[in-house]
A and B are shown apart, each in its own frame.
Chain A
Amino acid sequence: MGMLLALGYDKMTNLHKLAGYQVSQKIKNQEIFAEEYISLVFERISNVDSKINSFISKNHESALLKAKQIDKKIRNNEKLGSLLGIPIGIKDNISVLGLKTTCASKMLQEYVSPYNATVVDRLEKQDALIIGKLNMDEFGMGTSSEFSHYGAVHNPWNQDYVAGGSSGGSAAAVSSLQIPISLGSDTGGSIRCPSSFCSVIGIKPTYGLVSRYGLVSYSNSLEQIGPMARTIIDIAMTLNTICGKDSSDSTSTTAATLDQQFEYKINTVDGVLGKNYKVGIIDNLILSSESQVMETVFKKIDLLKKHGFDVQKTKINYSDFALAAYYVIATAEASSNLSRFDNIRYGFSHNPQGYEWNSYSSHVRSNFGDEVKRRILVGSFVLSAGYYGKYYLKAQKVRNAIKNEFNKLFKLFDVLILPTMPILPFKIGEKGAKPLDLFNLDIYTILANLAGIPAMSIPAGFSKKGLPIGLQILSNEFNEQILIDIATFFENKDKFNEWIPNI
């Protein structure tokens, strides 16, 4: 621990403010030991997380062991991974071998994963440290991270407010400088909403770009795993690590483009400007957002114009049907996916002896939270005999119409811009009495999930009260590089990576 003295106390205490790639470089250059850094991260977590509630379980012993191994690898001049010594938090619906995967549900409170998700294997192969499992809405069903068996996640910018959801723990842990990078999952905005509310970057990749093997399914035709971080370099590095073909997830293999190797780059601002991207402004949606959100988004658009981007107004049709279609599909798939939780294969200890099959199943499944129960019931309803054509089939048609809309728009534009969320973060407990009040908040984010296209939320600014506002950028399928380029432009101009909450 001699390094600690050499570096000076100040530099050590500020390490948690650095991005993952910066810390990794320092470890590689032997300016700091991986063991020292991870110990500081543990300290930061124990000082801060009592106010945020972002972690459900911790993996500190194993992360420390891994850090020591990394230090040894450096001493021995062994080959080093691209995420060397970076602590990464994992949303609690993604499997990590030997750790609990609760999905923030009472139903799975004792379930320990018997294998690693592909994304976790890939992170560990690049020498990242899996530091713990992050809080969320139960099974990913929510927009505020209030529907958790482990309590609500608090927004680091104002702890009376929600962190957004469902990957609220993933966003809040990164925003509050506990860890530099996390993984979330996004079914209808679950990465982008909390990224917007907590002022971090989050990307939902193209459907099929990242393996879902080891992700607990909620609505499998909509969801993707994606990284969340404070800098675009960390996002690109993590995405490079987790993306690509996986034989364990058949939906990751069918797109022909996946046969190629993906390697996302960080271009210079001049390089980005030189690409002459055509930007479409989804006017009808921007105008329906809250005034402070709208003003902030227009400021970003002005910045693009000022730097010579070709910016034009456009609109997207059928968006008024999209939300209903999304919730029909999501609940239908949820009712089917969650039927596996019979408490015989996974769940909590409750001896089935003496029970009849149906009564045991109903009895143990009453441990689902209210929101999850509602979505299962609604899903069973829309799939029930006689209603299939009225709801599910109709929803699939809307889905295809939305996809066609995007196909048309991406013939004219490289990138589309709209707000991530229609409103500002709200107070914990303020919404939720009516299910539709929360559903309506997903109106801008579900579009990308229905169409399977990539979407990113980046920090755009703050309300008068200091609450974060996010900008959403969309591109055509497998064009993640364009999103990274646009984010690089804004990060360079706005320096949003330096916007950190006082906590």
Chain B
Amino acid sequence: MSTNNNNDIKKLCTLSRLEIDESEIQKTSDKIKEIISFFNKLDEFESNGVQEIPYNYMKTEKKVDELRDDLTTLNLNDADGGGVEKATPFSFLNSKNGYVIGPRI
């Protein structure tokens, strides 16, 4: 975000999988620059001796034997046949013959 070049924002859009209208690019870019320059305040923080390790209670590691068994709970083949709906109101937005339809890769 060093220059006024709008290519930066377009690169970020690609990384973020977002589309921004051409007419909105400049405005969005300005606002994002405002936020990033506010973040630059962190440069003044003297971090000598301060650890970046998160606190113990935010660690999420579990022992393997504490985890549940790996059971299949959702049968995609039933997505069109009412099998999934019977258990939950969940259904994929687009499915056909038991397959989920996605865009081309």
Which residues of chain A have a CB within 8 Å of any CB of chain B? 97-98, 112-115, 207-208, 221, 247, 250-251, 253-255, 318, 320-321, 324-325, 327-328, 335, 339, 342-353, 355-363, 365-366, 368, 370, 373-374, 376-382, 384, 390-391, 393-401, 403-404, 434-436, 439, 452, 477
Contacts and interface: CB of A to CB of B under 8 A. Distances in A.
Nearest to A221: B58
Contacts of B41: 320-321, 324
Given A207-B58, A255-B57, A373 B42 contact: no
A366 B32 contact: no
A353 B39 contact: no
B58 to A, nearest CB: 6
A335 B58 contact: no
A247 B67 CA distance: 9
11 contacts: A221-B54, A251-B57, A349-B93, A355-B104, A356-B103, A373-B20, A374-B31, A377-B13, A391-B42, A436-B34, A436-B35
Given A397-B51, A435-B31, A452-B57, A351 B19 contact: no
Contacts of A251: 57-58, 60
Given A114-B90, A321-B42, A362 B35 contact: no
Contact of B57 (A207, A328, A356, A384): A207
Given A352-B103, A357-B103, A373 B18 contact: yes
A384 B60 contact: no
B94 A374 contact: no
Contact of A360 (B36, B44, B89, B103): B103
Contact of B35 (A318, A345, A378): A378
Given A208-B57, A400-B52, A381 B12 contact: yes
Which of A318, A374, A434 counts the most B-chain CB atoms under 10 A from its CB?
A374
A320 B31 CA distance: 21
Contact of A356 (B24, B44, B104): B104
Nearest to B85: A114
Contacts of A207: 57-58
Contacts of A394: 42-43, 45, 47
Given A344-B93, A393-B52, A362 B103 contact: no
Interface residues of B, number: 51
A327 B42 CA distance: 11
A327 B44 CA distance: 16
Interface in B33-74: 34-36, 38-39, 41-45, 47, 50-60, 62, 68
Contact of A325 (B32, B42, B60, B90): B42
A435 B18 contact: no
B94 A381 contact: no
Which of B9, B43, B57 counts the most A-chain CB atoms under 10 A from its CB?
B57
B39 A374 contact: no
Interface string B62-105: 10000010000000000000000000111011100000111111
B80 to A, nearest CB: 15
Contacts of B105: 357
Contacts of A247: 68
A325 B42 CA distance: 7
B15 to A, nearest CB: 5
Contacts of B35: 327, 374, 378, 435-436, 439
A357 B42 contact: no
B19 A324 contact: no
B17 A339 contact: yes
Contact of B50 (A255, A373, A400): A400
